């Protein structure tokens, strides 16, 4: 068990990013926590949803690129010199097995005795902050959450840390990626619910429901802000059986004139091929086929610094049950 994990186990109220009961070790603006042998901080990042979809069912995107994920941790402004001093003092007050003095001694060596900081940098109060590791709550159990293993380090006001994992407009944009609320991918179909063998079934998305949505992530007082935007790009259909054909053959329905697919107009001949849809070649019997509809979203970002660009596309899908019946024929 790591040093701070042992401390947390013995004194569960002293240093929790999850907000457990007990005294906070720092002032309210820098809630303390721990990750292995490091001091962490509950993130100050705030998010605002712009253009939220009017639907009760929303979900989070999964990156289409399996080699990329939003950040699991980063460093951000966290502790003033007085807050670091208060943190170490709080540890020293723990008397169980003498561990308070031991932990306090470790931190005093780093923050007070010149290895590398002297007297908690109290002479620089108001001139900067100690930046500390923050853990993405959604990804706290991932191995990458342990990547931010440095103790809090000093950054003068206005300076940009050289640390690659220091919070930046791009990290804020990637964090916002995780917060995008996209609507459940439930497609409209004609015929609806039950279709017939060898009858083209039309599929489309409700245009009013699938619009751009964006999330702005910022750290108050830092001047850093980034907005990440998701825009529908294409719809992929998996019929749920090999005994089927999709329209188009790839199963990927692109956006055409701002629409994905189209409703079947009244009077359209039954054998007309739809721009987006499926044709089942075999009955589902007494059951149904599990059709999977996955919408791919194009992701881009902008920021207050002028930086911006694209992030990996995201995917979000849903299953729908489709019953397929044989066409009844009458022999004369």
Task: Determine which helix (DSSP H) or strand (DSSP E) holds 255, and give its type and residue range.
Answer: strand 252-256
pLDDT digits (tens, 9 = 90+) for 216-226: 999 998 889 99
CA angle (320 as vertex; 314, 322 as ends), nearest 5:
140
pLDDT at residue 20 in the model: 31
pLDDT at residue 32 in the model: 52
pLDDT at residue 270 in the model: 86
pLDDT at residue 52 in the model: 52
Check: pTM over 0.85? Answer yes or no. no
Distance CA 177, CA 161 (A): 23
Secondary structure class of 124 (helix, strand, coil): helix
Residue 267 has a CB neighbour count (10 Å cut-off) of: 5
Residue 23 has a CB neighbour count (10 Å cut-off) of: 10
Distance CA 295, CA 187 (A): 10
Task: Determine which helix (DSSP H) or strand (DSSP E) holds 309, and give its type and residue range.
Answer: strand 308-325
pLDDT at residue 49 in the model: 94
The alpha-carbon radius of gyration of the chain (Å, integer) is 27
pLDDT digits (tens, 9 = 90+) for 276-285: 999 999 999 9
- Walking along the chain (332 residues) 10 residues at a time, the average pLDDT comes out as 45 34 34 56 93 63 90 96 91 76 86 95 97 94 93 94 95 96 89 92 86 94 93 94 96 87 90 95 95 95 96 94 80 44
pLDDT at residue 50 in the model: 87
Check: CB of residue 260 under 8 Å from CB of residue 205: yes
């Amino acid at each position: 068990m790591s040093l701070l994990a042992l401390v947390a186990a013995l004194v569960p109220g002293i240093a929790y990013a999850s907000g457990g009961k007990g005294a906070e070790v720092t002032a309210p603006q820098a809630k303390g926590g721990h990750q292995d042998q490091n001091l962490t901080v509950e993130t100050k990042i705030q998010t605002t949803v712009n253009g939220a979809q009017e639907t009760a069912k929303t979900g989070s995107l999964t990156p289409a690129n399996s080699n990329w994920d939003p950040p699991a941790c980063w460093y951000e402004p966290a502790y003033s010199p007085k807050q670091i001093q208060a943190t170490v003092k709080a540890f020293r007050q723990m008397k169980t097995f003498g561990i308070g003095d031991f932990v306090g001694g470790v931190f005093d060596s780093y923050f007070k005795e010149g290895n590398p900081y002297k007297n908690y940098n109290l002479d620089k109060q108001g001139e900067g902050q100690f930046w500390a590791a923050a853990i993405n709550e959604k990804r706290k159990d991932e191995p990458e959450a342990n990547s931010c293993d440095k103790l809090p380090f000093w950054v003068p006001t206005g300076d940009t840390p050289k640390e690659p994992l220091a919070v930046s407009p791009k990290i804020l944009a990637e964090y916002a990626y995780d917060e995008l609320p996209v609507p459940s991918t439930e497609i409209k179909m004609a015929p609806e619910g039950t279709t017939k063998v060898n009858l083209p079934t039309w599929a489309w998305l409700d245009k009013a429901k699938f619009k751009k949505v964006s999330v702005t992530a910022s750290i108050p007082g830092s001047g850093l802000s980034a907005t990440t935007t998701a825009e529908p790009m294409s719809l992929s259909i998996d019929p749920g059986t090999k005994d089927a054909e999709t329209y188009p053959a790839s199963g990927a329905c692109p956006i055409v004139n701002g629409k994905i697919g189209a409703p079947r107009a009244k009077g359209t001949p039954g054998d007309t091929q739809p721009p987006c849809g499926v044709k089942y070649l075999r009955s589902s019997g007494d059951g149904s086929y599990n059709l999977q509809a996955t919408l791919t979203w194009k992701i881009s970002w902008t920021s207050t610094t002028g930086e911006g660009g694209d992030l990996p596309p995201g995917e979000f899908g849903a299953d729908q049950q489709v019953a397929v019946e044989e066409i009844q024929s009458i022999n004369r």
